[in-house]
Structures are given as structure tokens and as C-alpha cells.
A = this chain, B = another copy of it.
Amino acid sequence: MNSNSQLGVSVDCVVFGYNGDSIKVLLIQQKTQDGGTITESELQMALPGDLVQAEETLSQCAARVLLELTSIEGIFLKQFHSFGDPDRVRGVKDEKWLETFREFPNKRIITVAYYALVSLHEYNPEASSFAGSIQWVDVDKVPELAFDHNEIFRYAVTTLRQHIEPHHIGFELLPKKFTLSQLQHLHELVLDKKLDKRNFRKNVKRMDHLVPLEEKQTGVLHKPAQLFTFNPEAVI
């Protein structure tokens, strides 16, 4: 039997953010090392991630990555797939980065991927720790990323589409109080198609976890719409 000693495990996070206008994904710019040999032109954009440490669970690792790299804490985080092809290291830049930052650069790494949802109405994450900088990039403008991160990102988008309706996760991307138009706009962006307003309202109004408030929008020029909130405890 194989000794399996040349394997390592990491966690990578696909963090989706919504600001009321477009859906974005959080990318980090790899940074140079003090006194190291890696140059600016050899750096790439990547998903935030790190190796799993000895005493932490996979979800603890994902939460730590988000906190350390971006100062984001306490948001919705869900494991969706593990990626373990032996050829996850794709190019010369990947190899150079591994040689600079990893103790065993040739070790095969299997990565457990999480997606996270954050309402950009509430957060304004900052880069910290070993990320050079972080950027919110429109999901349709994601550049070439390090390793197999484009593949992980695409898988996350597909998963988000499949989960948004049955798992009621869209609420995580909205402010605490929202209108039905905002909810529909978000669903249309994620699903990448127009939805019929009457059907959409009929369907969501049947949901026990969508709670109408005795409050209306303020500060809008049009007729203010009713506000709703999400009651996670009413989800079956």
C-alpha cells in the first residue's frame, strides 16, 4: 500500500460579495518575500487559502484563512468540493511561488474548497498577513489565477447557482433589511437570467423564513417599497 507521505492538504476560499449592484469575488495578489527571489512579474492573483494546520478542522482552517488574509469574520462559509488532481501546479510561476513560500515545494497538495458569502453593505475587508493586497473583482472579469484556481472558482459559481434557491443562501448577501426587488435582482445576477416578477414574488412569499417588516424604504425617489428580513430559524 502507498505510504501517502508526499501529500498535503490546504483549504481555498471563494468569497462572493454583493454590493446591491454586482456580484464580486475576493482575490488576493500574491506578495514578494522579504529578501526572497520572487519578482513582481512572477506574482499572480489567487484565491485566499492556506495549508491545514495540525490541530484545526477543515472549517476552522477556512475561517482562519478569511480572518488572517482579509480580516473577515463570522460570515457564511460552506465546503463544496475537494480538488486533488496530481497536476494542480500549472506553470512556472506556480513553481516559483511554491519554492519561495513552501517548505516542501514538490509535495502534492489536495485542496478542500469553501465558498463564502458576504454582504458588502456591511463589510469592508482589508488585506493583512501574507496577502499582498486584496481586490473585489466582478465575477465575469476574473483574470487568469494561480494553480487550478480558475477551475475552483468556476465550480463555486455553478454550486452557488444550484444552492441559491433550495438552500436559501441569497439572504447572506443582502443587507439585514431588504426589498423584494433587491432579492429578485440578486437571484437574477446569480442565475444569470431574468425572472418573472409575479412568479418570483408568489414563490418567495410562500417562504416562512421571509419575514415582512412594518417598515418601508427611506431615502428613495420612487414610491418606497416594503422591507423584509430573513429568519434563519424558520428554514426547514
Contacts and interface: CB of A to CB of B under 8 A. Distances in A.
Interface in A1-58: 1-10, 50-58
Contacts of A52: 2, 4, 7, 84, 110
Interface residues of A, number: 36
Contact of A6 (B54, B57, B58): B54
A82 interface: yes
Contacts of A166: 162, 166
Nearest to A88: B57
A182 B74 CA distance: 45
A226 interface: no
Given A2-B51, A79-B81, 19 more contacts: A1-B50, A1-B102, A2-B52, A2-B53, A2-B54, A3-B104, A4-B51, A5-B8, A5-B107, A6-B54, A7-B52, A52-B110, A56-B86, A58-B85, A82-B82, A84-B112, A110-B112, A162-B166, A166-B166
12 contacts: A1-B51, A1-B101, A1-B102, A1-B103, A2-B54, A4-B8, A7-B9, A7-B52, A52-B84, A55-B86, A58-B110, A162-B166
